[in-house]
């Protein structure tokens, strides 16, 4: 009887391990014999780069914890000690602070690539959901870690964000008190934020990253053409348009890693503060509960959502109520079955609840909904093709307007509020949510190009 690859056992020390742990089979399944589409472009660097930055953050975080004191009277001094006295401590601290911002840079670009090429579409819904959960965990990790330097901006930023929870009806004041552990941000808050930042959130984050990768390798990677390479295989079951991840894409990603590390090192050594966007000047001043900074704003990767929060004023709440009422009328006119009357009734209840609650609470709802909306993309997008390459021109324009509105919100979130900036932020927030709410309608419209039967690949 002929033997197969599974019947052939490795020998020596590796064979001893394989008989007790699936090392070789795991390597083959997820690296050397994992077949990825052969038409990946530079947008596919960012998944590997996100994994690299995660490793950088964990390693530098471990070394920082060795010298950091989670104590309100010692925290700021311990950071100064790391910067001035610990050998290479300044480098570790700047790598960690730069890594936090670069993590969001590569994750935002990674998510944008998924948006362009439809990587959230069937059969990758779960991959996308795990990815969005990772994004939420990163936001929580960044928020909890932001307080730890115990500088002016981190202290007052945490005070402002935690106080937002007090706007939640009925449970708000008790919830904000429970999060802080005290009536104000204090030593108790610092200790519990430290525990979440160092232990709890990283464990959840690592688990989600593993689940994200396992789910991805189960269904296979998407590609710029949006074609399933598993649909066409040779007699050995190998996709005709696939190539092994190793060595082809491991070398491909290594080039991206080299370019990224060059940029990363340039920031760390020459501009670690990045003009105040990565590290604010106020955070080099010890926290003072009696002196509020002139302007309190979150780090740049939160500013788009912060701008939506600030834009939710009483007039904007009325606009939202009108939009919800129109959606209820639309559901009544065009709905079918139980949704025809259920959605209008739900819209009416929401409008009544909005009228009875303050705008501050709805600012929190708008900010949270802006993130949660991402989870529903697989079911909102009803386009017959996945990739933006084969969609009508106006689809590409909508994507461009959406991205532009997000950038404008991010910029406005870094600036002091004014009547003009608030109005612009409100318009951009409506564009942001209109992109998602209108998806079931506009993604089916227009003339679509026919995707090719095989992936389009040009050697380079």
Binding residue per annotation — 110? yes
CA nearest neighbour of 220 among 23, 40, 375, 46: 40
DSSP states of 36-53: EETT--GGGHHHHHHHHH
The residues, any chain, with a CB within 8 Å of residue 248's CB and separated by 6 or more, are: 36, 38
Tell whether 217 is in a known binding site: yes
Give the span between the Cα atoms of 206 and 201, in whole angstroms: 9
User: Is 252 among the annotated ligand-binding positions?
Assistant: no
Can you tell me the distance from the alpha carbon of 64 to that of 59, in angstroms, rounded to the nearest whole number? Answer: 9
Distance CA 282, CA 293 (A): 8
Helix H or strand E encompassing 35: strand 35-37
Distance CA 128, CA 29 (A): 21
Nearest by Cα to 54 from 219, 229, 290, 212: 212
Cβ-contact 293, 152 below 8 angstroms: yes
Residue 37, SS3 per DSSP: strand
Pick the closest to residue 225 from 418, 458, 460, 398 (CA basis): 458
By the 8 A CB rule, do 150 and 75 touch?
Answer: yes
- Consult the annotation and say whether 197 binds a ligand: yes
d(CA 225, CA 40): 10
- Nearest CA-CA partner of 429 in 348, 297, 277, 319: 319
End-to-end CA gap in the chain:
44
* DSSP line for 307-326: HHHHH--HHHHHHHHHHHHH
**3-class secondary structure, 27:** helix
CA Rg, the chain, in Å? 25
Residues placed in the known binding site = 96, 110, 197, 212, 217
Residues placed in the known binding site for a ubiquinone = 217
Residues placed in the known binding site for heme b = 96, 110, 197, 212
């Amino acid at each position: 009887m002929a033997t197969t690859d599974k019947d052939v056992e490795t020998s020596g020390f590796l064979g001893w391990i394989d008989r007790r742990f699936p090392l070789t089979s795991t390597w083959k399944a997820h690296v050397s014999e994992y077949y990825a589409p052969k038409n990946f472009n530079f947008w596919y660097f960012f998944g590997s780069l996100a994994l690299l930055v995660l490793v950088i953050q964990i390693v530098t975080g471990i070394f920082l914890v060795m010298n950091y004191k989670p104590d309100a009277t010692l925290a700021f001094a311990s950071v100064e000690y790391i910067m001035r006295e610990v050998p290479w401590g300044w480098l570790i601290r700047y790598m960690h602070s730069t890594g936090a911002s670069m993590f969001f840079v590569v994750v935002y670009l990674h998510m944008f690539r998924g948006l362009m090429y439809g990587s959230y579409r069937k059969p990758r819904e779960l991959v996308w959901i795990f990815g969005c959960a990772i994004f939420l965990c990163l936001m929580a990790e960044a928020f909890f870690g932001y307080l730890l330097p115990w500088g002016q901006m981190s202290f007052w930023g945490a005070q402002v964000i935690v106080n937002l929870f007090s706007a939640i009806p009925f449970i708000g004041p008790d919830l904000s008190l429970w999060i802080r552990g005290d009536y104000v941000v204090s030593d108790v808050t610092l200790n519990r934020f430290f525990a979440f930042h160092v232990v709890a959130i990283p464990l959840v984050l690592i688990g989600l990253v593993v689940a994200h990768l396992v789910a991805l390798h189960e269904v296979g990677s998407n590609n710029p053409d949006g074609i399933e390479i598993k649909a066409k295989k040779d007699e050995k079951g190998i996709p005709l348009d696939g190539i092994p991840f190793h060595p082809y894409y491991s070398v491909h990603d290594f080039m991206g890693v080299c370019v990224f590390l060059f940029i990363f090192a340039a920031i760390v050594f020459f501009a670690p503060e990045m003009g105040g966007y990565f590290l604010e000047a106020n955070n080099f001043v010890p926290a003072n509960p009696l002196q509020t900074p002139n302007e309190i704003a979150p780090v740049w990767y939160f500013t788009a959502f912060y701008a939506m929060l600030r834009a939710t004023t009483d007039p904007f709440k009325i606009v939202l109520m009108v939009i919800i009422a129109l959606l209820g009328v639309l559901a009544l006119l065009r709905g079918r079955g139980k949704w025809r009357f259920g959605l209008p009734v739900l819209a009416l209840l929401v409008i009544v609840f909005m009228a009875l609650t303050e705008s501050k609470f709805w600012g929190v709802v708008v900010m949270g909904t802006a993130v949660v909306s991402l989870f529903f993309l697989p079911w909102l997008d009803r386009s017959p093709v996945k990739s933006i390459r084969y969609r009508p021109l106006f689809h590409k324009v909508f994507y461009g307007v959406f991205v532009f509105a997000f950038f404008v919100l991010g910029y406005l979130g870094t600036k002091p509020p004014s009547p003009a900036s608030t109005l612009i932020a409100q318009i951009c927030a409506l564009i942001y949510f209109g992109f998602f709410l209108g998806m079931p309608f506009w993604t089916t419209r227009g003339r679509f190009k026919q995707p090719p039967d095989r992936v389009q690949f040009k050697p380079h």
